[in-house]
Structure 1
Amino acid sequence: MTEAPHILIVDDDAKIRQMLTRYLTGEGFQVSAAANGEAMRGCLNRTQIDLVLLDLVLPGEDGFQLARDLRARPGVAKTGIIMLTGRSDMVDMVVGLEVGADDYIAKPFQLREVLARIRSVLRRTQPDVSVQPGVMAPLDAGEVIRFDGWRLDLGRRELKAPDGSEIALTTGEFELLMTLARHPGRVLNRDQLMDLTRGRQWEAIDRSIDAQVARLRRKIEPDPKHPMLVKSVRGVGYVFTGHVQ
């Protein structure tokens, strides 16, 4: 048995905060709420947060800036981030993924959809936390993939560089690297990558995969402009060329 996950709602609309707080509390989660970035940071300083529901349009700092700040905080690499927004612009979706969000929900939304997205993200970001009160989340078998001096621990969801330093990956980056490293030498198109990482229920878009690849390259390639591990195959997709053990 594990403690219920703690969700932080960041939205300047009091009605939305109250609605989500009431609903998620009823589903067994611990819930905190904040109206702006300052209140969000205060909550993060006081307690451990497993997932942040983050509104894009906020007074002062917007959701993009707050997501960047979240990812820069020590110990927050595994905290899930789901963007909430009243805008459905495809560019906003891509930017949200680029700054570290794990998912994106447009307003108005169905509460059941929010719940499903939360549980999906928690299963990926917090494998040792129960996503439903009273139910143990399944743990990975502990598979470790080694390639060109790198070490990808699937059980711990950790990536270590050849020099032993740990590289912080977002959920999307980790899932993408794991999928590619499990299929070395095989060209995977965007549809296959979406199916193998997030699944069709996420309604991902092609450019989101491109954005995730670009971010991943910046973390694992000596020269991201001339990648040696994750290579593009023009008109098809991507292939992992690292020497996998």
Structure 2
Amino acid sequence: MHKRILIVEDETSIREMIAFALRKAGMDAMQAADARAAQLAIAEQVPDLILLDWMLPGTSGLELARRLRKEELSREIPIIMLTARGEEMDRVNGLEAGVDDYVVKPFSTRELIARIKAVLRRSQGDDGSGMVELGGLRIDGPAHRVFAGDEPVPIGPTEYRLLYFFMTHPERVYSRTQLLDHVWGGSVYVEERTVDVHIRRLRKTLEPWKLDDLVQTVRGTGYRFSTSV
């Protein structure tokens, strides 16, 4: 079955160019010109991935990303941000809002398709498919859900993979490079700084259950998941 990609972009020419490239790559293209149209499209048919422009009329792409990460229907959909903003702080803001990757304009459709395939591989691979329980957390791999005790934990796709890797490799310290290799698949598109952003997001996810201290920083080395103080 073809992957469904939702393009959220207010410029018709760019939307059509991307849609043409997606169809040529064997994917189905859904289109929306603003945040409201995007949410209606998702409600009608959930896409496998969202291409989201930073600058949208009314509600920005950044704000829409935050909304989508809070809603159950769209929480686990991978998001790639399309942006003319190349500064590091802008990229970090996008990642912290729940974006899984970003492509800086102007971009080639070949690069964009490569990014889409890489994110889809990471989000829909076999990692995280088992059952594991540790430190008050339980991962139900077949259902792709996380529980703190009996309470479901809302979690994004990248944080899920990161938590699954940590819980299946507890007490061992991993560098940022090692985490990129194991969790992101060694993608050349992902920077080491991305790991720090997702670690913060994972801790924030676990904070309501006072389990954020399970993800520990080892100064000068990296991170580990540990049930020991």
Q: TM-score, normalised by structure 1?
A: 0.84
Which secondary structure does the structure 1 equivalent of 2:132 belong to? strand
Structure 2 equivalent of residue 134 of structure 1: none
Cα separation, 1, equivalents of 2:200 and 2:73: 23
Offset at residue 194 of structure 1 (A): 1.5
Structure 1 equivalent of residue 171 of structure 2: 185
Structure 1 equivalent of residue 35 of structure 2: 37
Task: Kindly indicate whether the alpha-carbon contact (under 8 Å) linking 2:165 and 2:183 is maintained by their aligned counterparts in 1.
Answer: yes
Cα separation, 1, equivalents of 2:28 and 2:105: 23
Offset at residue 8 of structure 1 (A): 0.6
Moved over 6 A (4+): none
Structure 2 equivalent of residue 108 of structure 1: 106
Please tell me the root mean square deviation across aligned C-alpha atoms, in Å. Answer: 2.0
Offset at residue 141 of structure 1 (A): 8.6
Offset at residue 72 of structure 1 (A): 1.8
| Distance verdict in 2 for CA 1:48–1:118, change over 3 Å | same
Aligned with 1:240 (options 217, 225, 228): 225
Which secondary structure does the structure 1 equivalent of 2:187 belong to? helix
Structure 2 equivalent of residue 211 of structure 1: 197
Aligned with 2:157 (options 132, 150, 171): 171
| CA shift digits 1:188-209 (9 cap, x unpaired) | 1111111211133243233321
Task: Kindly indicate whether the alpha-carbon contact (under 8 Å) linking 1:55 and 1:83 is maintained by their aligned counterparts in 2.
Answer: yes
Aligned with 2:24 (options 2, 6, 26): 26
Task: Kindly indicate whether the alpha-carbon contact (under 8 Å) linking 1:78 and 1:126 is maintained by their aligned counterparts in 2.
Answer: no
* Larger relative contact order, structure 1 or 2 (CA cutoff 8 Å, min sep 6): 1
The alignment status of 1:145 with 2:143, answered yes or no, reads no
Which secondary structure does the structure 2 equivalent of 1:59 belong to? coil
Q: Percent identical across equivalent pairs? A: 38
Cα separation, 1, equivalents of 2:102 and 2:77: 15
| Distance verdict in 2 for CA 1:58–1:202, change over 3 Å | farther
Cα separation, 1, equivalents of 2:108 and 2:146: 35
Task: Kindly indicate whether the alpha-carbon contact (under 8 Å) linking 2:127 and 2:161 is maintained by their aligned counterparts in 1.
Answer: no
Provide structure 2 residue ranges, at least 5 long, that are not aligned to the other structure: none
Q: TM-score, normalised by structure 2?
A: 0.90
Provide structure 1 residue ranges, at least 5 long, that are not aligned to the other structure: 128-138
Offset at residue 223 of structure 1 (A): 4.0
The alignment status of 1:77 with 2:75, answered yes or no, reads yes
| CA shift digits 1:149-174 (9 cap, x unpaired) | 32113343321111x22222212211
Task: Kindly indicate whether the alpha-carbon contact (under 8 Å) linking 2:42 and 2:74 is maintained by their aligned counterparts in 1.
Answer: no
